[in-house]
Amino acid sequence: MPATRLTLPSPAKLNLMLHILGRREDGYHELQTLFQFLDYGDEITFAVRDDGVIRLHTEFEGVPHDSNLIVKAAKKLQEQSGCSLGIDIWIEKILPMGGGIGGGSSNAATTLLGLNHLWQLGWDEDRLAALGLTLGADVPVFVRGHAAFAEGVGEKLTPVDPEEPWYVVLVPQVSVSTAEIFSDPLLTRNSSPIKVRPVPKGNSRNDCLPVVTRRYPDVRNALNLLGKFTEAKLTGTGSCVFGGFPSKAEADKVSALLTETLTGFVAKGSNVSMLHRKLQGLL
Ligand SMILES: C[C@@](CO)(OP(=O)(O)O)[C@H](O)COP(=O)(O)OP(=O)(O)OC[C@H]1O[C@@H](n2ccc(N)nc2=O)[C@H](O)[C@@H]1O
Ligand SMILES: Nc1ncnc2c1ncn2[C@@H]1O[C@H](COP(=O)(O)OP(=O)(O)O)[C@@H](O)[C@H]1O
């Protein structure tokens, strides 16, 4: 009997570097970025229904049911596959929204992979990634599940294997709108392209940083505080900032000091997403 219920992880990502090369005619920006996953994220539970209804039972503050990327992903997959089954969905949400750690995109990808499995659609990764791209620029990397150097708007992915340190991630209590940062006239948009190999080292810059720190003093403060212990970086368009450490013990020590006044967590960097590790275990 095929499974009718499944709980899957929905991990966060970091952008280890992010360069903006230019702006396309449709307003989207050409990027070069390095994605790595964290062994840290939400958990989504799916239960098949036979009446075709798609229902997310967990409420999100400020996100109406039908605007939730989980629901959008499920509806698109149902429409495009012609599947007559439906789904009940619950999520344990721990990833901050608008934090630049890709929670919404990750939730969408976990939904696509989870429903492909439960509805037994047999879609391959290319097809799921293409559908994912219509939901958000960051969805394809979560569908593929391997750390990657990304180009285009984030959809041209080359798998890479950077070091996997322990990270301290600080979560300033502000939600940064990606669209707002990309529309700032002061954003650097003319970085020169770099080569995928050798894999860019962890010390590459994030072109969004000057604009984000000017608009959000809390992000600047978090960068300054973490920067006392290690190189502190911004992920995506923020708000989260992160720094790597060679061991969990060192990351825990710094986190304990900083989380007296700031919100944050410690997580291991991972080149294979924990979603894919779990799915491989199911096959
Ligand atoms: C910048 C990145 C880097 O990982 O991260 P986040 O900080 O959002 O996580 C992403 O590429 C974001 O991807 P995602 O969050 O899926 O963006 P989308 O929903 O597709 O786009 C939100 C808005 O940002 C702008 N946008 C986004 C991506 C891009 N390459 N160029 C853009 O100009 C567009 O104005 C778009 O309307
Ligand atoms: N399932 C979801 N999880 C998080 N955010 C979602 C979700 N569905 C829709 N959103 C919307 O997407 C926005 C960006 O969320 P998220 O992907 O978590 O941030 P970021 O891309 O900065 O990491 C949120 O502010 C929220 O309005």
The domains of the chain, with CATH numbers, are: 5-160+277-281 (3.30.230.10), 166-270 (3.30.70.890)
Find, among 247, 269, 251, the residue nearest to 162 by Cα.
Answer: 269
Query: Model confidence at 283, in pLDDT bands (50, 70, 90)?
Result: confident
Residue 220 CA to residue 262 CA, distance in Å, equals 13
Place of tokens 């007559």: 84
Ligand 2 contact, 70 CB (< 6 A):
yes
Q: Which residues are annotated as a binding site for ATP?
A: 96-106
Ligand 2 contact, 69 CB (< 6 A):
yes
Find, among 92, 77, 105, the residue nearest to 9 by Cα.
Answer: 92
Query: Model confidence at 203, in pLDDT bands (50, 70, 90)?
Result: low
> What's the average model confidence in pLDDT over 220-228?
97
Catalytic residue flag (residue 184): no
> What's the average model confidence in pLDDT over 12-41?
95
> What's the average model confidence in pLDDT over 192-210?
81
Find, among 203, 267, 202, the residue nearest to 240 by Cα.
Answer: 267
For the chain, percent of residues with pLDDT exceeding 90:
89
Catalytic residue flag (residue 13): yes
Question: 69, 138, 239: which to mutate for ligand 2, most atoms within 8 A of CB?
Answer: 69
Give the model's pLDDT for residue 197. Answer: 72
Q: How far is the CA of 97 from the centre of ligand 2 (A)?
A: 5
Q: Which residue of the set 39, 42, 138, 207 is catalytic?
A: 138
Give the model's pLDDT for residue 1. Answer: 62
What size, in residues, is the chain? 283
Residues 6+ apart with CB under 8 A from 255: 168, 264, 265, 266
Q: Which residues of 73-85 are buried (b: 16+ CB within 10 A; e: fewer)?
A: bbebbbeebebeb
Give the model's pLDDT for residue 34. Answer: 96
Query: Model confidence at 2, in pLDDT bands (50, 70, 90)?
Result: confident
Question: 35, 44, 46, 63: which to mutate for ligand 2, most atoms within 8 A of CB?
Answer: 63
Q: How far is the CA of 50 from the centre of ligand 1 (A)?
A: 35
Look at residue 3 and tell me whether its pLDDT is greater than 90.
no
Ligand 2 contact, 174 CB (< 6 A):
no
Residue 95 CA to residue 41 CA, distance in Å, equals 6
User: Residue 10 — φ and ψ, nearest 5°?
Assistant: -135, 90
pTM above 0.90? yes
Residue 1 CA to residue 172 CA, distance in Å, equals 46
Look at residue 68 and tell me whether its pLDDT is greater than 60.
yes
Q: How far is the CA of 104 from the centre of ligand 2 (A)?
A: 4
> What's the average model confidence in pLDDT over 175-182?
92
Ligand positioned closest to the Cα atom of 29: 1
Average pLDDT across the chain, whole number? 95
> What's the average model confidence in pLDDT over 40-58?
98
Q: Which residues are annotated as a binding site?
A: 96-106
Name the amino acid, one letter, at 217. Answer: P
Look at residue 110 and tell me whether its pLDDT is greater than 90.
yes
Residue 124 CA to residue 266 CA, distance in Å, equals 33
Find, among 196, 179, 171, 185, the residue nearest to 261 by Cα.
Answer: 171
Query: Model confidence at 204, in pLDDT bands (50, 70, 90)?
Result: confident
Give one DSSP letter per residue of 14-34, joined into a string: EEEEEEEEEE-TTSPEEEEEE
70-73, long-range: CB < 8 A, 24+ apart: 70/44, 70/107, 70/108, 70/111, 72/108, 72/135, 73/107, 73/108, 73/109, 73/111, 73/112, 73/115, 73/131, 73/132, 73/135, 73/139
Q: Which atom of ligand 2 is nearest to the CA of 101?
A: 23
Q: How far is the CA of 177 from the centre of ligand 1 (A)?
A: 9
